Amino acid sequence: MGIIYNEKAKSFKLDAGNSSYVMQVFDNKFLSHIYYGKHVPDTDMSYLLGPISGVAPSKVPGFEVMAMDALPFEYPVPGLGDYRDACLEIQTKTGHRVCELEYDSYSIYSGKPKLDGLPATFGNEKECTTLEIVCKDPLLNLEVVLRYTVFEELNVICRSSVIKNKGSEEIYLKCALSACLDASGQDYDVLSLHGAWAKECQLTRQSVNANRVISESSRGVTSAQSSPFMALVSKEVNETCGDVYAMNFVYSGNFYASCEAGQSGSTRMVMGINPNNFTWKLEADSLFETPEVVMVYSSEGLGAMTRTFHDLYRNHLIRCPYGNQDRPILVNNWEATYFDFNETKLLELATEASKCGIEMLVLDDGWFGARSIDDRGLGDWYVNEDKIKGGLGKLTKDVNGLSMKFGLWIEPEMVNPNSDLYREHPDWAIQIPNRTGKLSRTQYVLDWSRKEVRDSVYAQIKHVLDNAHVEYIKWDMNRHLTDLGSYDLPSDRQQELSHRYVLGVYDIMNRLITDFPDLLYENCSSGGARFDAGVLYYSPQIWASDDTDAIERIRIQAGTSLCFPLSSMGSHVSAVPNHQTGRITPFETRGIVALSGTFGYELDVTKLSQEEKDLIKKQTKMFHKYNHLVRNGDLYRLSDVFHPEDYACWSVVSKDRSEALITFVQIHSRPGFFATGTNIKLQGLDPNAKYYVEQHVGGIEPIGTDSESVGDQEKRQASGLGGMESNGVQQISGAALMNGGYVIQRVPGDYTAQLLHFVRVKE
Ligand code: DGJ
């Protein structure tokens, strides 16, 4: 296991989980990719280069260019004959743009280094091993260190690079991507995630061919339009079979991912910071570190890929203490009141909510400065005492008096022109001097590449948090970057602004969680426009979408949870008709869909009927019963949840396979279904164990379920009855449930949902 160097073949083999990754120094010079896939024992697989070996520059002098466009490279550069997408592009002071990387040396060590100022996965010396390969351009005195960390228990390889200018003159980095995979063959599809506001993370699948497929953002944030995920998959791939080579970027700004079939039979996929709007001036004797790309391999389809990402992110990325803990059930006042609230209204909401089992009130936008509507106040982080008499200190005390926690919304990266902050510091906004910046939601983005701007805003936020008992922060970000210009950067560094901005965001997120380690922290960007692994490092949960419609949420949550654990996915029950779609769905369905996320409410509890309030009481109990499973279990998609037609079904199975929670949402009711039901083949159970349905919510309940207490079940199990029990609860083997399936009885009506809890019979 781990990483092996074969001295004779000059090759490296990385073993991660049950996958292997092999590279080789080709022709004594070029670091080439040879193999990625299921575990192999071999360390020398150079035979796979086949005919390419014949055109090695040293063997056929005079034909170097031919080899360049055929070789599979680990960190390709342009200008020497490789016309596919490159990882590194430079420009010298003389204006030339060629650099030639030659293999130089390597080191292997246990553990994983931190990335300076950047979020990254972490692991200790027992969990992971790191390989650093040094390549050099001797003429430029440029050194590139390629880092590969393997997680021994997971099919994961994390990559980043460090580019060092060891010369005496500056070099401009025009492109510095983090990873390249030159996969062998071309018979692939490529998966990526795209969308829009309130429609995030819609899965797209297309064929790989010579036309480059690009997924990117140049909006300053990862964006709702594209997510930094790309996967090459074999044509037959589905949830349970086929090869998957996935990349996910641990970064929260402009990104670029592409995929293309080259002319020599391989397929190149790259990922990194978007070269568009990026040039980095690398002074003599300085370095640039690229953010991390996480590569996951699965030979068992998309389901296994998802579970690998979830395990990695839960255990090796989310660093806040809440990562693995119970989270309070919250009610957020945004869709309940928008800007129209005062302390009386908030306390009424909290009082009713607490009676239903809700545990935290989150005060959203509108509590500060002159913020009565959205064209003012951003930048002025002091409480508006016209709206909240007595201030936040008093409000938090009153809310705590109801045995509820208190959470608060902030949008620290922004400023309205109509604010004290902007009036005092108009040059603190990202803008080009003498050009009027474009407004979006009547706001500008603050220039967080500048430390004094960050310090000033952070001091205000810290003051608020120091003076009120705030236990949760929702950090929002509601516009994209335009008018890229910083009043502070010299002309040859203006193109660094977007990346410096992201580093500034990370700096403040880091200060926040360092100064307030117990704070539960949720990120948000007009919904899920910054739902990425970079943010997840700081923030254990992220608001997935402003679209709270339960039916729309099926696709959004499926796309989001392709890489991200359910425990990270902000998901609330909201009022109907839904504010984004106008759709009316049953209260139960909204609760059942939200249970597959962090769970909470986003509605005015004071306006609900008694029946609905009773449902909240049931749902909050259900949350406490099942959240440990949702948070820690393995996700299995049991239907096409990315493009659901009549129904969507997924399950979460505990790691020890002792229980499984199945969610079934009926999107359309069709007549024939009532007679037959829908057969769902479960996954991930113990084939040799027996299971029974312990609780069934929202459907036609099998005898002896739901109303029964856990104590009753235990007594019944202890009696050791097998097969159909005397009290009518059927025991079914895991093998039967996975191969024969389980028939979900359909109920009349669109948008109904069912939740089935399967429990393993104790032996
Ligand atoms: C956008 C967020 O996604 C919403 O949840 C809400 O917080 C608003 N911003 C407030 O302005």
Please give the share of the chain, as a percent, with pLDDT higher than 70: 96
∠ CA 263-266-269 to the nearest 5 degrees?
110
Token digits for 357?
A: 């089992």
Q: Distance (Å, rounded) from C-alpha 677 to C-alpha 655?
A: 29
Distance 561 CA to ligand 1 centre (A): 21
Average pLDDT value over all residues in the chain: 94
| Per-residue pLDDT tens digits for 157-179 | 999 999 999 999 999 999 999 99
Q: What is the rounded CA–CA span in Å between residue 696 and residue 688?
A: 23
- Rounded-to-integer distance, Cα 742 and Cα 725, Å: 18
Q: In this structure, are residues 530 and 542 in contact, taking their beta carbons and an 8 Å threshold?
A: yes
Beta strand pairing call for 573-574 and 569-570 = unpaired
The Å distance, Cα 371 to ligand 1 centre, comes to 14
Is the per-residue pLDDT at 359 higher than 90? yes
> Between vectors from CA 116 to CA 29 and to CA 464, what angle results, nearest 5°?
160
Per-residue pLDDT band for 135 (boundaries 50, 70, 90) equals: very high
Nearest Cα neighbor of 183 from 249, 232, 228 is: 232
> What is the dihedral sign for C-alpha 489, 491, 494, 495?
negative
> Looking at this protein, which amino acid is placed at residue 45?
M
pLDDT digits (tens, 9 = 90+) for 186-208: 999 999 999 999 999 999 999 99
Q: What is the per-residue pLDDT across 481-504, written as a single tens digit (0 to 9) for each?
A: 999 999 999 999 999 999 999 999
pLDDT at 671: 83
Which residues make beta-bridge pairs with 363?
408
Asked whether 27 and 54 are in contact (CB, 8 A), the reply is no
Q: How confident is the model over 32-60, as pLDDT tens digits?
A: 999 999 999 999 999 998 878 888 888 88
Q: What is the mean pLDDT of residues 731-747?
A: 96
> What are the pLDDT digits (tens) for 693-721?
999 999 765 544 443 333 344 434 433 33
Residues having CB within 6 Å of any atom of ligand 1:
334, 364-365, 409, 476, 478, 524, 526-527, 543, 546
Distance CA 251, CA 449 (A): 16
For the CA of 524, the nearest atom of ligand 1: 3
Q: Which residues contact 677 (CB under 8 A, 6 or more apart)?
A: 743, 744, 745, 746
Active site residues: 476, 546
pLDDT of residue 718: 35
> Are the C-beta atoms of 753 and 664 separated by less than 8 Å?
yes
Query: Ligand 1 test: best mutation among 337, 338, 371, 476, most atoms within 8 Å of CB?
Result: 476
Quote the ligand 1 centre to 50 CA distance (angstroms).
56
| Strand ranges of the sheet holding 330-332, from the earlier edge strand across to the other edge | 569-570, 541-543, 520-523, 472-475, 405-410, 360-363, 330-332, 600-602, 573-574
State the pLDDT at residue 728: 63
Gap from CA of 621 to ligand 1 centroid (Å): 27
Distance between CA 512 and CA 537 in Å, rounded? 13
Lowest-pLDDT choice from 170-174, 310-314, 591-595, 710-714: 710-714
When pLDDT is averaged across residues 352-369 and rounded to a whole number, the result is: 98
Mean pLDDT of all residues in 79-94: 97
Q: Which residues pair with 692 in a beta bridge?
A: 759
Which segments of 527-681 does DSSP mark as H helices, in order? 533-538, 550-560, 587-594, 610-632, 673-676
Q: Which of 409, 541, 548 to mutate to test the pocket of ligand 1 (most atoms within 8 A of CB)?
A: 409
Q: What would the pLDDT profile of 364-394 be if each residue is shown by its tens digit?
A: 999 999 999 999 999 999 999 999 999 999 9
CA angle 523, 193, 190 (to 5 degrees): 145
User: For residues 46 and 53, is the Cβ–Cβ distance under 8 A?
Assistant: yes
pLDDT score of 66: 84
Query: What's the confidence (pLDDT) of residue 700?
Result: 67
> Peptide bond before 577: cis, by omega within 30 degrees of 0?
yes
**Residue 186, amino acid:** Q
